[in-house]
Structure 1
Amino acid sequence: MIPQDSGIVAVRNILTRLCKRSGLSSDRLRTTEIDVAPLLDLLAVRQHARRHGVEPEEAVLPVVRNLAAQLEPTNRIIADAELSLGLLRETASDSVDLDRLYAADLGERREYLAEGWQLLHDTLDAEPTPRALTVRSLRATPERRAFTALASLLVNESVYDARPQAEPAVKSTPSPKAPATPAVRGVVTVFGDAVIDHIYFVDHIPMPGASVVGNSFEEHPGGKGLNRAVAAARLGLQVRLISAVGDDDAGKRVLDYLRSQNVDTDLVKVVPDAPTPVTAVMITSTGAAGLIGCRDDRIRLSAHDLRSTRIRSAVAASDAVLLTFEQPSAVIEQVMALVQRMEPRPLLVVHPGPPIALPQYLYRYLGAVDYLAGTSHDLAALVPEVAAASTTDTAQRLRALGVRSVCATEDFGCTVWSDRVNLQIPAFPAAMEDSPGAQAAFAAALVYRLVSTRRPADKDDYVWATAAMVATQSFGDVPGAMPPVSEIDRINRLASEEQH
């Protein structure tokens, strides 16, 4: 693959040369003497071709049209006219001469761009309109800027993992089959990370400067987002994950695993030329875990992603949204703001981990949070400006900021502060001190109860979700330990019998 900067230059040069004559078309790509291989090899083009069962030459035009429509107005107008993309054919007023704008000759298209500069910008409601150009001045900086911007989108486009329904998943490695689940009860969208966990089993987690001999090693898909998505799917919910992976073998393995667990991956974006994140997980015999995350900064959701109509529609169609703090702060803010503006809106269940810098920027959105669940450390990190006297003090401050229910979940127990109930659920009997999957299981189980009953959580719902944490006690495969409904029911029943 071509390095990123060189790739942008190569694609920009190809697009500039393809402007000549009648512009961009599949026939032109098949017959041109221009070396268009870098354009045909783009991840966005290849995935569009695979998704729709067409040749790469036929995939280029729809991909370019889609991305050109995302450019700022001046660059969009130039790219649209010079490549003859036809973006204004359906929306332009009668005053726009479409025959000249998309003429068969590039020179005529340029002449009309210069003549209709103000009119074309008015058509897109662009304010302020850049100063008028001549054909000569248009061919200098403006064209170069427009095609550089378009080439940058094409080279760096993060492509959603949508596939034709009839296409079978190609498994790079065998994945365990998802257990049988009850009928679908609700739609859940999860925002969070999907990674490959490198799991080291150790006697104890080493202190700084010390080393420890590992007992064994395993590798599994993981991540806070993936774990919650799998946990919710195991309970019979209809789940989609919005996350990012790299265009590598590890990314394919993550996607294959998610599909095998009945998680919709259509909105997982695939980032070209970037490795899927890896997390080193050290687990002791008691279940305590230490984590080291390694990731490429390109493997992130972005503010641009959140403007996608597909993502916004997915959130609007959800009964509940599960959000973790693994994404950039701007993305977390946008998800919370998006939910906050919706009417009616989905339930928003937030895990405030890992801690983020300047959580104060989130305070104005906390009124959209229905359930905030995490360890006492996670919760305290949200109010760093004060030294809370206790977790109760922290919870009260968060409730004052608008959170409807705060849940401190740790050591297989739970304390709740909410509009309906305030209670402490003692730790369930457990063979281990902790479990890496406990937080994910709690969040998914709580959402399951909420969307099943269609009412705010009561004591029994919190107790049932706490029982789900106990069901995750295991080594290694964290999402694989997520329990079905029957197992949570069994643990909840056993605990109830012991109390009586």
Structure 2
Amino acid sequence: MVPQDSATVAVRNILTRLGKRSGLSSDRLRTTEIDVAPLLDLLVVRQHAHRAGIEREDAVLPVVRELARHLNPSSMLIVDAVLSLGLLRETTPPGVDLDRLYAPDLGERREYLAEHWQLLHESLCANPIPPAPSVRSLRGTQEWRAFTELAGLLANESVYGSGPAHTPSPPETVAAPPVRGIVTVFGDAVIDHIYRVDHVPPVGTSTPGNFEEHPGGKGLNRAVAAARLGLQVRLITAVGDDEAGRRVLDYLRAENVDTDLVKVVPYAPTPVTAVLITSTGAASNIGCKDDRIRLSTQDLRSPVIRAAISSSDAVLVTFEQPSAVIEQVMAAVRRLDSRPLLMVHPAPKVDLPQYLYQYLGVVDYLAGTSADLAAMVPEVHAGSTADNAQRLRALGVRSVCAIEDFQCTVWSDQVNVAIPPFPAALEDSPGAQAAFAAALVYRLVSTRRPAGEQDYVWATAAMVATQSFGDVPGAMPLATEIDRIVRLASEEH
């Protein structure tokens, strides 16, 4: 059923009225007495206007033209003729009179559509072709249904898709400078509400603390960490079309993270995570997330998403997204002849990880805490971290990294090694795992070889560099800071 929310209804009514006379145009939007503000304020219109550097009135027609192509053939032909969009001008089908189909008078456009219904559908290779309507039925039910479908797409379209209104420059055409690798991150972006306390209070008690608010999330943290190291990074995530979502996008852009593939969900709030950080640096999280703020398997079918994966040197996946989305990302990597490095970060509450087992053969690096690794083999009770790592290796994972308390233990095809922690002032840090992931990926795409012991040492040093309270992604280190920690430790020995 076509959605009937207030935005859809408002946009449908505007488009229906704009179809009269000569149809939809930027000049008509500027001069009409119709209140077109709801149409100009649509997210997809604002996004296209911003990216193209044009006025919103000039952005409406290309956006409408592109989304009209996503309708079924009958609805597409109806809105094309009524609004005089000119969709068939690009490849004129034999026998179609474009002058009549896009005539200045709406009545003539309707008559031609009704008279040549069969021919027009055949030109689109439609099958089956519904019975031809009368002009009267076109004016009523048929146009109402077609415009409702189009309005629903416009009102609920997110920031990316397959058309010019929201398609970034094709990733495969981006020329990466030497050493800088292209990294695509799938994970969450949120607003962190950070509470610094001496201890997490037991039930029925309270404790004093300090409060800060910053952009964060596992996906965002990893994207920022990788960008700080000089990698070319894009984040694929979802945020709300609200002030918090705009703040997240502005922060990512300021950190040189490509946001072209961030999905913006209309009428939904950007997720918030409450982070309780004790004086030792240990953190506990409370996630507050609207179910609408997530990627979907339909999103993963977008050509630009597939192109982003195939053009990457490395893909990082965190497990906040639905299992079906994680599965589809891993499947997309598996289908490629030339695969990017795939680094996966599981979570303690993995939804049916057994469905992912068939894809673990494409996972180059699986990194997480002992609890994260245990969640990947839930049928094994009370197994040691080493046992769980070997079980995951048997399922196909090339390298398993247990990272916690600023130290790392690795089981891999190349090395089996325990990297002791560097000298630290805190016991833990909320950004440690993100820094480890980014640092390891940096070393891998820079050297173009599997990770050796020194690469894990460098990534472990990156964790120590994040020791801080407050802004988690803001604590992500530069390469020079990691080098300094490694150098100081070597001098002590």
Deviations 1:225-263 (A, max 9, x none): 111111111111111222233333322322222222222
CA distance in 2, matches of 1:58, 1:191: 33
CA distance in 2, matches of 1:465, 1:408: 12
Alignment of 1:226-305 (within 5 A): 226-305=220-299
Deviation at residue 164 of structure 1 after TM alignment: 12
Specify the alignment match of 2:151 in structure 1. 151
Contact 2:429 2:468 in 1 (8 A): yes
Counterpart code for 2:193: H
Specify the alignment match of 1:43 in structure 2. 43
Specify the alignment match of 1:174 in structure 2. none
Specify the alignment match of 2:196 in structure 1. 201
Specify the alignment match of 1:443 in structure 2. 437
CA distance in 2, matches of 1:248, 1:230: 21
Specify the alignment match of 1:11 in structure 2. 11
Specify the alignment match of 1:478 in structure 2. 472
Contact 2:348 2:371 in 1 (8 A): no
CA distance in 2, matches of 1:384, 1:87: 53
SS at 1:88 equivalent: helix
Deviation at residue 200 of structure 1 after TM alignment: 0.6
Specify the alignment match of 2:414 in structure 1. 420
SS at 2:103 equivalent: coil
CA distance in 1, matches of 2:452, 2:417: 10
Counterpart code for 1:434: D
- The structure-2 alpha-carbon separation of the partners of 1:318 and 1:129, relative to structure 1 and needing over 3 Å to count, comes to same
Q: Does 2:181 correspond to 1:186? A: yes
Counterpart code for 1:55: E
Counterpart code for 1:309: P
TM-score (norm 1): 0.87
- The structure-2 alpha-carbon separation of the partners of 1:99 and 1:295, relative to structure 1 and needing over 3 Å to count, comes to same
TM-score (norm 2): 0.88
Alignment of 1:42-441 (within 5 A): 42-159=42-159, 185-207=180-202, 209-353=203-347, 355-387=349-381, 389-441=383-435
CA distance in 2, matches of 1:76, 1:393: 57
CA distance in 1, matches of 2:168, 2:392: 44
Q: Which runs of 5+ in 1 are unaligned?
A: 166-181
Counterpart code for 2:299: D
- The structure-2 alpha-carbon separation of the partners of 1:413 and 1:73, relative to structure 1 and needing over 3 Å to count, comes to farther
- The structure-2 alpha-carbon separation of the partners of 1:407 and 1:164, relative to structure 1 and needing over 3 Å to count, comes to closer
CA distance in 2, matches of 1:91, 1:397: 56
Contact 2:168 2:261 in 1 (8 A): no
Contact 2:167 2:304 in 1 (8 A): no
Deviation at residue 290 of structure 1 after TM alignment: 0.7
Specify the alignment match of 1:459 in structure 2. 453
For structure 1, which segment, 482-491 or 90-99, has the greater mean C-alpha deviation from structure 2 after superposition? 90-99
CA distance in 1, matches of 2:361, 2:131: 45
For structure 1, which segment, 105-114 or 275-284, has the greater mean C-alpha deviation from structure 2 after superposition? 105-114
Specify the alignment match of 1:34 in structure 2. 34
Deviation at residue 468 of structure 1 after TM alignment: 1.2
Deviation at residue 30 of structure 1 after TM alignment: 2.6
Percent identity (aligned): 78
- The structure-2 alpha-carbon separation of the partners of 1:322 and 1:106, relative to structure 1 and needing over 3 Å to count, comes to same
CA distance in 2, matches of 1:124, 1:386: 55
Contact 1:282 1:290 in 2 (8 A): yes
Contact 1:388 1:394 in 2 (8 A): no
Deviation at residue 92 of structure 1 after TM alignment: 4.8
SS at 1:159 equivalent: coil
CA distance in 1, matches of 2:133, 2:359: 44
Deviation at residue 388 of structure 1 after TM alignment: 5.8
Contact 1:183 1:236 in 2 (8 A): no
CA distance in 2, matches of 1:250, 1:382: 33
- The structure-2 alpha-carbon separation of the partners of 1:105 and 1:340, relative to structure 1 and needing over 3 Å to count, comes to farther
CA distance in 2, matches of 1:336, 1:417: 21
SS at 1:189 equivalent: strand
Deviation at residue 7 of structure 1 after TM alignment: 1.3
CA distance in 2, matches of 1:223, 1:105: 54
SS at 2:414 equivalent: coil
CA distance in 2, matches of 1:88, 1:361: 44
SS at 2:284 equivalent: strand
Deviations 1:171-218 (A, max 9, x none): xxxxxxxxxxx98621112122222111111122234x3433132111
Deviation at residue 496 of structure 1 after TM alignment: 4.0
- The structure-2 alpha-carbon separation of the partners of 1:125 and 1:286, relative to structure 1 and needing over 3 Å to count, comes to farther
- The structure-2 alpha-carbon separation of the partners of 1:214 and 1:24, relative to structure 1 and needing over 3 Å to count, comes to same
Contact 1:102 1:109 in 2 (8 A): yes
CA distance in 2, matches of 1:347, 1:189: 10
Counterpart code for 2:101: L
Contact 1:355 1:382 in 2 (8 A): no
Counterpart code for 2:51: R
For structure 1, which segment, 407-416 or 3-12, has the greater mean C-alpha deviation from structure 2 after superposition? 3-12
For structure 1, which segment, 98-107 or 33-42, has the greater mean C-alpha deviation from structure 2 after superposition? 98-107
CA distance in 1, matches of 2:43, 2:430: 35
CA distance in 2, matches of 1:131, 1:25: 31
Contact 2:168 2:260 in 1 (8 A): no
For structure 1, which segment, 430-439 or 260-269, has the greater mean C-alpha deviation from structure 2 after superposition? 260-269
Contact 2:179 2:446 in 1 (8 A): no
Specify the alignment match of 1:22 in structure 2. 22
CA distance in 1, matches of 2:148, 2:344: 39
Counterpart code for 1:361: Y
Aligned length: 480
- The structure-2 alpha-carbon separation of the partners of 1:115 and 1:351, relative to structure 1 and needing over 3 Å to count, comes to farther
Counterpart code for 2:212: E
Q: Which runs of 5+ in 2 are unaligned?
A: 170-176
SS at 1:428 equivalent: coil
